[in-house]
Structure 1
Amino acid sequence: MTERTALEVWGDPIAHSRSPQLHTAAYRALGLDWTFERRRVPEAAFVDTLAARGSGLRGLSLTMPLKGAAFAAAKWRDDCAEVTGAVNTLLLDADGPRGFNTDAGGIVRALREAGVDSLDGARIVGAGATATSALAALAELGARHVEIVARRPAAVAPLQALGHRLGIVVVPVPMDAAAHAPMPVTVATIPGDARVAAASANALAAAGGLLMDVVYGHWPTALSDAWTRAGHPTLSGEGMLLHQALLQVRVFTGGDTGAVLPGEQAVLAEMRRALVGG
């Protein structure tokens, strides 16, 4: 009997992941009898779990805290993964895992869907791992000046170095600043349950523009609430989740993020329905 093609999403925690619904909808639309399951894998167990995988496992979607470990495990990486130091997608080839970062592309596609085709400046809230993908995404949209709001300005130093490589001037701004300069787009990359002082959230929202909060499991967030009260538009992380998953499907079926799917708009529509339906 031919072994079924299997895909999995790994992380810790993992029960919240919506990837199985998205990917299952995509492969059903493509007429592929592929499976996609969750697996809780702590960071310390990643290397051994990857080595012990079954032969039918075609690829992995990686969530926190495994994107750095996946980067280290990849024998080849796409440009976005190399720039950000993060891999959220592994294609398990016979010659070794191939690593991709589809998070940045997911942010770009979600912002373009919201009407943001280009920008000169933007703001990121948070200086963790997701901020690197956000910075790469903003660079693709043309940003040349990005403020990064962080509780510890010293944490912005690696992002300043990344900004230099991307041709972006990165300026650290304290989270408790009393006021912020207007920006057309703010990308929030902090956890949804992170505590943000009301004064800080209100000061950021007062600067206006579109808020894209990458969170999708804790919505609304403190920042999205502040943006709504100020009368400004918001996007949850569901758009990023949807579009990064579509790019993953391209990788798993065609070997590359640029491998457009047959009937891709219909596939995307099925994935969107699965996301909305929970």
Structure 2
Amino acid sequence: MLRRAGVVGDPAGHSLSPAIHRAGYAAHGLDWVYDAHTVPAEGLDDFVRGCAADPAWAGLSVTAPHKDAILAHGDPDEPTRLLGAGNTLIFGPTPRVYNTDVPGFVRAWRAHRLADIRSAAVVGNGATARSILLALAGLGLRDLVVLARVPQRAEALLELAAVLGVVAEARGLEEPLLAVDLVANTVPAAATAPHATRLAAAAGVVFDVVYDPWPTPLARAADAAGTPALNGLDLLAGQAVDQFFLMTGHQVTFEGCRSAAEQELSRRSRL
């Protein structure tokens, strides 16, 4: 039987996940189909139910804005329940929801042979920020500054930090920042552009969730400061390793996933 998987989001057409998963299928000789599906919030329930009713479907990769809502469609594992957000739905007698962004960030960090983290500043307070916080806690994080345009909206992230034993505070994005091991940006590049030089100067390492277009203003500032920079391709490739295994039972590598994503970006740039 032909098996199916895909990525669901709004929009989803820009996603590099099809290129990554299809490369994995080719490497393992799997007769699988993986497509991108743009589904608005009001259509998510019907779309997921339709997939679940078809035994050909193995699972879904889940991107914005559905990472919170997808928890209603399966039994979340403990990290996903803690975060209140998932990025992987696996169909079956008991559908399950996972968040592979968490181990994916750790995998990307280790792939670059970077040291454990004691202090960090995270820009933003959404689902990706929560996932990165949980990943950082596993890498030894002790102190966190949440930078937000409206610091009062970071309350949920501060509560998660407290659960994880991380000392955290929220500040305005424009406020001064002391030196930290990592500055992680989870918001659109335009929001950090006016602050890029200052943020990069405070960072031992920069991570920007954006990967296209690259470099972002924050990445350019990091390069000028001689600061290592990771981008969204690192997270995308890292999370795909576990996601591919959950869907297929086969292993892929971080390097293979990142290469597939880079090749697809290069192909698109020539169109």
One-letter code of the match for 1:189? T
- 2:7 and 2:60 in contact (8 A); partners too: yes
One-letter code of the match for 1:16? H
Task: Give the distance between the partners of 2:126 and 2:199, measured in 1 at CA.
Answer: 18
Indicate whether 1:94 and 2:98 are aligned: no
Query: Mind listing any 5+ residue stretches in structure 2 that lack a counterpart?
Result: 265-271
By percentage of residues, which structure has more helix?
A: 2
Task: Give the distance between the partners of 2:187 and 2:154, measured in 1 at CA.
Answer: 14
Equivalent in the alignment of 1:183: 180
Question: TM-score scaled to structure 2, two decimals?
Answer: 0.91
Of residues 201, 221, 224, the one that matches 1:226 is: 221
Task: Give the distance between the partners of 1:270 and 1:157, measured in 2 at CA.
Answer: 38
Q: 1:103: Cα distance to partner?
A: 0.8
Task: Give the distance between the partners of 2:113 and 2:146, measured in 1 at CA.
Answer: 23
Task: Give the alignment's Cα RMSD to 1 decimal.
Answer: 1.6
- 2:233 and 2:258 in contact (8 A); partners too: no
- 1:205 and 1:227 in contact (8 A); partners too: yes
Any runs of at least 4 consecutive aligned residues in structure 1 with deviations exceeding 6 A, and if so which? Answer: none
Equivalent in the alignment of 1:77: 76
3-state SS of the aligned residue for 1:93?
coil
3-state SS of the aligned residue for 1:94?
coil
User: What is the correspondence of 1:120-269 to structure 2 with a 5 Å cutoff?
Assistant: 120-177=118-175, 179-192=176-189, 194-198=190-194, 200-254=195-249, 261=250, 264-265=252-253, 268-269=254-255
What percent of counterpart residues are identical?
37
Equivalent in the alignment of 1:56: 56
- 1:7 and 1:58 in contact (8 A); partners too: yes
Aligned residues between the structures: 262
Q: 1:86: Cα distance to partner?
A: 0.6
Q: 1:197: Cα distance to partner?
A: 4.9
Task: Give the distance between the partners of 1:238 and 1:196, measured in 2 at CA.
Answer: 19
Query: Mind listing any 5+ residue stretches in structure 1 that lack a counterpart?
Result: 255-260
- 2:185 and 2:209 in contact (8 A); partners too: yes
Question: TM-score scaled to structure 1, two decimals?
Answer: 0.89
Indicate whether 1:274 and 2:260 are aligned: yes
Distance 1:197 1:6, change over 3 A: closer
Q: 1:55: Cα distance to partner?
A: 2.7
Task: Give the distance between the partners of 1:13 and 1:222, measured in 2 at CA.
Answer: 24
